[in-house]
Amino acid sequence: MGKKYNIIHFEALGAENEHLKDETAQAIRDGLLPKEFTSLVTDETLQEYMREHPDTELPDIISIKTHSKVPEEYLRGAKKSIITRSAGYDHVEELEDVANVASLREYCVNAVAQTAMKLLYDTAGCLNEYTLNAATFERMKADSFIELNEERVATVFGVGKIGKHIYDLLRANGLTVQAVDIREKELDELYGHTVHFVSKEQAAKNSDIIINSMNLTRIPESRFYNVGYFSEEYLRSCKKGLIFVNVTRGEIAPESAILKLYEEGHLSGFGTDVFSHEDEFTQFIRHKIYSNNPDVLAGKYLIDIAEARTGNIYVQPHQGFNSDAAAKAKAKDAIHHVTAWYRNAGTHFEEQLPYYAM
C-alpha cells in the first residue's frame, strides 16, 4: 500500500503546481489546516497516476481538471469530495448526487474575459490578412477591418461572472451590448438592471458579434441543457457577416456547423480556444489517432486555416485561464475549498453543485 495523503491534486501544470504547494503551506501556517495535513501535487491525470501507482488509496477529497476520470469504485461507500480546478463543471456535474462537487468560479473571470476580447480584436481586425500584408507591405488591397463602435451590436450569451465581465469590456470598447441568458430575471435583479437582455431570436436578428460564455450543461433534462446550442440552423438565422467567438466549451457550438457557415461566407470571422470532444480531439491532433467525427475533423481544418493565415480564423488551446494572476488565484481558490471542507468535518463544501435549480 502506497503512502496515504489527505488530498491529491491531479493535472497541476506549470506554475499552478508550486502555487498549490505554497497555498497549502500558508493554510497550515494560518491554522486553517492541521499541521499533519499531507498533500500530493502531480501533473498527471488521475487515471495516469493510478496506472503507475496502482496501490495508491485515493483520499476522501481530490482535486482534478477536465482530463481526469473519476473511477466508479472511488465513489462507492462514504461520500467523497471532488474539486474541479476549472470554471466549467460539465465533466463532473453528473456526480453531484453521489459526491460533493465544487468548482472554481472566481479565479479566471478577468483572464477569460480578456481572452474573449483578444479573439474579438483578431477577428474584427482581420489580423491574419494584415499580418501577411506586412511581408510585402501591401497597403492597397486589404479588406476593411471592422471598427468597434456603437453602431455594432455585440451579444454575450451567458452572463454569469465571466460573461458579465465580457459585457462590461465590450461596452467599454464603445459597442452596443446586449445579453441572452435563461436566468434573465434573476440576473437582472443581481446586476441592478444594468444589463440589456434580449431573446435568442432578437439576438439573431441584430447581432454583428456573438460571444459565447455559457457553461456547458450536458444533462438533457436540465433547463440549462445547451449541447449544440449554436446549431447550423440557429447561426444561419443570424445576420450574414457575423463574428462568432467561443471561450467556454466546444460542444455548445459544433465545429462542423462553424466551418460550413464560414466557408459559405455567412460567418465573417471565428475565434475560439475550445473544441468539441476534447479527449478525442487531443488524441487526433497529438497522436494522429484516426477519427471520423465531423466536429473533430472540422476543428482540425479550422486550426489549419488559422495556422496558414488563409482566413479570418483564430485558435489557441484552452488557456484563457493561464494568465499570471489566474494561475495563482486558481490555487488560492482550490485551497479555500479544501479549508472549507475541513472546517465542515469533510461533509461538504460551502459552495457546491448544484449551483442553480435545474
What pLDDT, in 10s, does the model give residues 27-83?
999 999 999 999 999 999 999 999 999 999 999 999 999 889 999 999 999 999 999
- Structural domain harbouring 71: 7-107+324-343
**More confident: 240 or 287:** 240
* pLDDT tens-digit series, residues 201-215: 999 999 999 999 998
Integer CA distances (angstroms), 350 to 19, 106, 257, 344, 353, in order: 22, 14, 40, 8, 10
CA atoms of 23 and 336, how far apart (whole Å): 9
What cell does 82 get? 471532488
Q: By three-state DSSP, how is residue 182 classified?
A: coil
Q: What CATH number is attached to the domain comprising 189?
A: 3.40.50.720
Residue 354 counted as domain residue: no
Q: Are residues 329 and 284 in the same domain?
A: no
Question: Number of folded domains in the chain?
Answer: 2
Integer CA distances (angstroms), 31 to 25, 36, 329, 340, 343, in order: 10, 11, 20, 12, 11
- Taking residues 323-338, report their average pLDDT: 86
pLDDT at 260: 98
Residue 55 counted as domain residue: yes
* Helices 324-343 and 109-124, packing angle to 10 deg: 150
pLDDT reading at 106 higher than 90: no
What cell does 48 get? 495516469
Looking at this protein, which amino acid is placed at residue 88? G
Top mean pLDDT of 130-139, 203-212, 274-283 is at 203-212
